[in-house]
């Protein structure tokens, strides 16, 4: 059991969706370099969506300038045709590229339709490295503890690769498709080790469905059984969650909430 509230993971329990998005955007902006164009790591899903809305508001207000930023998505489905509206390329374009005014040429998503997925994965790792690495990774968490599509059992030093989706993940993602049979079974995902290379990680989680996974991630020993526990090995992780997502945390972990944030 890892003692909660240690300096490597700073936890805040937000009182509203607006506060969660604001605090997460603060944590992202704080990590942006001032002497060069930033490199963002972007996650898809419902939990991070408000963060992008808040960053876009700040961009429109002239409070930040991300027009020269590069961005790398965490993952992509295998088997969807190019341009499919269910693809994470489409989601990233809608939620990140257009609202933030990013140059699409600087926004990278794995090509799940590539003929050689191993070569695509190696190329993706290379592109991240050539960009100078990710300055700040926005991250969500799956109810089985996955980060990106690193399902339980993933090696904690894994790199970008083709992977199989867990049944829980397929079931959770079925809500985005007309028919559950349409949900892809495989993906290309950044590895746990790839994610841990980011200089800062900002994890956001909302809803009771994420509560057990969050408790395991913050309080269990580091283990591939709960891939998100690997975040405990990173030097700069900020976790911002709502009350529902925090509902399974121990009193000790809850008491430590807010260290380094508020």
Question: How do residues 141-164 score in pLDDT, each as one tens digit?
Answer: 999 999 999 999 999 999 999 999
Q: What is the DSSP string of 113-130?
A: T-S-HHHHHHHHHHHHHH
Q: Is 216 a catalytic residue?
A: no
Q: Is 179 a catalytic residue?
A: no
> What pLDDT score was predicted for residue 259?
53
Q: What are the helix (H) ranges across the chain? A: 17-30, 46-60, 88-92, 98-100, 117-130, 167-173, 192-196, 211-219, 251-255
CB contact at 8 A, 39 and 131: yes
Cα–Cα distance, 215 to 257 (Å, whole number):
13
Q: How far is CA 249 from the centre of its chain?
A: 21
> What pLDDT score was predicted for residue 257?
67
Q: Is 150 a catalytic residue?
A: no
> What pLDDT score was predicted for residue 178?
79
Q: At what angle do helices 46-60 and 17-30 cross, to 10 degrees?
A: 70
> What pLDDT score was predicted for residue 4?
42
Please identify which of the residues 54, 146, 173, 216 carries the catalytic annotation.
146
Please identify which of the residues 54, 75, 76, 242 carries the catalytic annotation.
75
Positions in the chain whose pLDDT score sits under 70:
1-7, 257-262
Q: Which of 175, 244, 248, 238 is nearest to 12 (CA)?
A: 238
Cα–Cα distance, 160 to 240 (Å, whole number):
26
pTM: 0.92
CB contact at 8 A, 217 and 4: no
> What pLDDT score was predicted for residue 261?
39
Q: Is 234 a catalytic residue?
A: no
Cα–Cα distance, 189 to 162 (Å, whole number):
6
> Sign of the C-alpha dihedral, residues 242, 247, 236, 200?
negative
Three-class secondary structure of residue 92 per DSSP: helix
Please identify which of the residues 76, 120, 144, 150 carries the catalytic annotation.
144
Please identify which of the residues 151, 173, 219, 242 carries the catalytic annotation.
151
Question: How do residues 111-137 score in pLDDT, each as one tens digit?
Answer: 999 999 999 999 999 999 999 999 999
> What pLDDT score was predicted for residue 258?
61
């Amino acid at each position: 059991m890892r003692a909660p509230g240690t300096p490597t993971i700073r936890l805040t329990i937000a009182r509203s969706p607006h506060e969660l998005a604001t605090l997460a955007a603060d944590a992202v902006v704080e990590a942006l370099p001032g002497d060069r164009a930033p490199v963002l790591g972007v996650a898809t899903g419902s939990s991070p969506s408000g963060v992008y809305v808040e960053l876009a508001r700040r961009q429109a207000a002239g409070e930040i300038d991300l027009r020269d930023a590069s961005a790398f998505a965490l993952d992509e489905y295998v088997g969807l045709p190019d341009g499919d509206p269910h693809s994470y390329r489409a989601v990233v374009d809608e939620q990140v590229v257009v609202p933030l005014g990013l140059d699409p040429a600087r926004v990278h998503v794995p090509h799940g339709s590539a003929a050689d997925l191993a070569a695509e994965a190696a190329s993706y790792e290379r592109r991240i490295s050539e960009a100078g690495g990710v300055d700040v990774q926005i991250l969500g968490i799956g109810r089985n503890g996955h980060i990106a599509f690193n399902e339980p059992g993933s090696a904690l030093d894994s790199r970008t690769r083709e992977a199989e989706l867990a049944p829980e993940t397929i079931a959770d993602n079925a809500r985005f498709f007309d028919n559950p049979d349409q949900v892809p079974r495989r993906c290309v995902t950044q590895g746990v080790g790839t994610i841990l290379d980011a200089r800062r990680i900002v994890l956001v989680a909302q809803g009771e469905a994420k509560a057990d996974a969050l408790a395991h991630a913050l309080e269990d020993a580091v283990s591939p059984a709960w891939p998100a526990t690997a975040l405990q090995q990173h030097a700069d992780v900020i976790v911002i969650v709502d009350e529902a997502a925090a509902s399974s945390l121990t009193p000790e972990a809850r008491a430590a909430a807010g260290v380094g944030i508020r």
